[in-house]
Structure 1
């Protein structure tokens, strides 16, 4: 029997707080989504002024990073590199801004962010994930 760490509400709250702090320090209105390792939403926070669609996109970025076990930037790079068929892949958001949360070498969840540029979304997501990485 294998054992692994799982995200609890304490960790989800800490991830959301760190991501919020990074976004607010830069004046960015974003939505932050935290998912478990199966891509299921555990927490969501939409900052004031962020467009409602960002809640959907952030959730999909988190789900894709969890299920794919990697940053969603990799998918975006594939598409931008000409692999357009990848756009039809199921349950995958090919936009930068989703990152896995790693504890003791295992992916225990992910963070997805939407609302600003791709690189800024990723910066906020990484700040959230860094709380546990």
Structure 2
């Protein structure tokens, strides 16, 4: 037992219990399963899912409903996920920019093995479906 003011307890509980249960329940929605190449970290995630989802949803909901810190923690968790995604996509875009603009060959707009069946928006010198009076064809 640790003696502390209620406000401190609630702040710590949101950061430990509610966060743990939220992440565990989010991971449960991914239907994660053991694989032949599990890492220790992945095994820990599987145990987290098992531990948090074996508790009732009512317990989890109580951690949310009766602790005003939980709402703020959900917003922070969402912001953190957005920041991670932004960084991943920024890195991807940087790699693509380098490939496009720093010496790499340009990307083809049409793959070499596909044949285009769409009409060209630009006029051509010779349309095979019309009769060319100069050549007699």
* TM-score bracket, shorter-length normalisation: under 0.3
TM-score, reference length from structure 1: 0.27
Q: What TM-score, normalized by structure 2, do the two folds share?
A: 0.26
Bigger radius of gyration: 2
